[in-house]
Amino acid sequence: MLGRKKAPEFAKLNYNQRPKTKVIQLLHNVGNENVWAGVKRIVLRTMVLILALIVSVPSTLAKQQAEFVVPKYDLLALDDGIRDLLDREVKTLPTKKQRLSRLHDIFYQPYYYNIQYEPFNTLTAVETFYRGEGNCISLANLFIAAARYVGLDAKYQIVRANRQWRPREEFYELPGHINVVVDFYRERAEIEFNRTFYDNKENLRIVKRVISDKQAKAEFLNNMGVDRLHDKKYDEAIAYFKAAAKSYRNLDFVFSNMGVAYKYQGDYKSAEVNYLKALAINADNPSTINNIFILYRELGDATQSQRYARRAEKYARKNPYYLDKLANRHIDNGDYQKAVKLLKKAIRIFQLEPDFHHNLAIAHYFQNNITKSKRALRKAIETTDSEEFKTRYQRKLDALATLD
């Protein structure tokens, strides 16, 4: 007997009266190098990798180690325990809508299994069920496998919006998103696992597109490669990216990410080859443009770097974390007006980053605008999830109150 868990409130079921809605997804997209930021950071994940400028790459990284073999993954396999659960609880229901609703309840309602969204775990259907968590593609794997088992027409759906950056320890992340659609005769149900993806919905221009199982497999393998890249396991990352490209060859960000991995190994030629492959698929991918610009710049190829420079700078200006770094430089240099302008732009792009509000409070403070500084600190308190930082910001707010 499978044990019961509690389920997340964010998983939701929406019906769309139009049968085949258009869809485009952002999954894991590794990133691109941000030379403009001037820090040792990389941007990964649909993931597009955005590399930061690195000073040097040790030649030893280029040495080949024992070849890594990517395991064989069956994303949609179910075991006997899950099938028994579905036979008992779902499959006997007479209508497809009843089966869909029941399946959704079993996986996500508090009185059942409480399977949670966790952004950094890329898992198969079986792994997701028993761990009780996973990222969007992991949750999609489980739901699609179960839905198809009980006779539903379930598919992967990419959800693409304007880019949203997310910082990690060594890189910025450009997270993408994937969910599930289930088609009926004249209706489509959409199953969403991560409501926070829409938290900044006033800034989102959402487009959706159904994708094949082969593309979903490539997205899965790309995610695994990004995780290895984050862990500096470059040979393994490259192996995963190659497997992703073999599964589905038309994902430009897979080649861009592979280029990033080769670059970290010190193999600049292979990095260039893969960046150019990515641009051949999508000449307008700003992450790849940024990455190849950095590559040519580091190689001292002024002609080629200049070819991509303006587009790379334009792209960097859309990264709120890059704007925040520029603002901090202006604060250090005493140019508080420029800092305020940049921080306000960063906040317009992404309102939920407490650091932006905190830094804006600092800039206003040095402008002797205590009222606006207090207002920005209140927004920092409102947007942070950390009790430690709430306390810090509150102490600063209390100190500012004594200056009124």
**pLDDT tens digits for 303-340?**
998 888 888 777 777 778 778 888 888 898 899 998 89
Contact assessment for residue 401 and residue 374, using Cβ atoms and an 8 Å cutoff: yes
What is the rounded distance in angstroms from the CA atom of residue 233 to the CA atom of residue 276?
A: 23
Identify the pLDDT of residue 65: 53
Beta strands in 27-88 (DSSP E): 29-34, 42-44, 47-52
Q: What is the pLDDT of residue 225?
A: 95
Q: Which among 121, 95, 39 has a CA at the least distance from the CA of 325?
A: 39
- Start-end of H helices in 150-265: 213-230, 234-247, 252-265
What is the reported pTM? 0.72
Report the share of the chain in percent with pLDDT over 70.
76
Task: Provide the pLDDT for residue 279.
Answer: 95
Taking 50 as the pLDDT cut, the residues of the chain under it are 1, 3-12, 15-47, 50-64, 196-204
Q: For strand 207-211 and strand 166-167, is the pairing parallel, antiparallel, or unpaired?
A: unpaired
Strand order in the sheet with 166-167: 29-34, 47-52, 42-44, 171-173, 166-167
Contact in structure between 45 and 31 (CB atoms under 8 Å): yes
Distance of CA 104 to the CA centre of its chain: 24
pLDDT of residue 285: 84
pLDDT digits (tens, 9 = 90+) for 331-385: 988 999 988 998 898 898 878 888 889 999 999 999 999 999 989 999 999 988 8
pLDDT at residue 66, rounded to an integer? 67
107 phi/psi in degrees, rounded to 5: -80, -35
Say which residue the tokens 């094949």 belong to.
212
Residue 72: φ, ψ to 5°: -85, 125
- The rounded distance, in Å, linking the Cα atoms of 61 and 57 is 7
Identify the structural domains of the chain with CATH numbers, from first to last. Answer: 12-223 (3.10.620), 320-401 (1.25.40.10)
Name the amino acid, one letter, at 57.
Answer: V
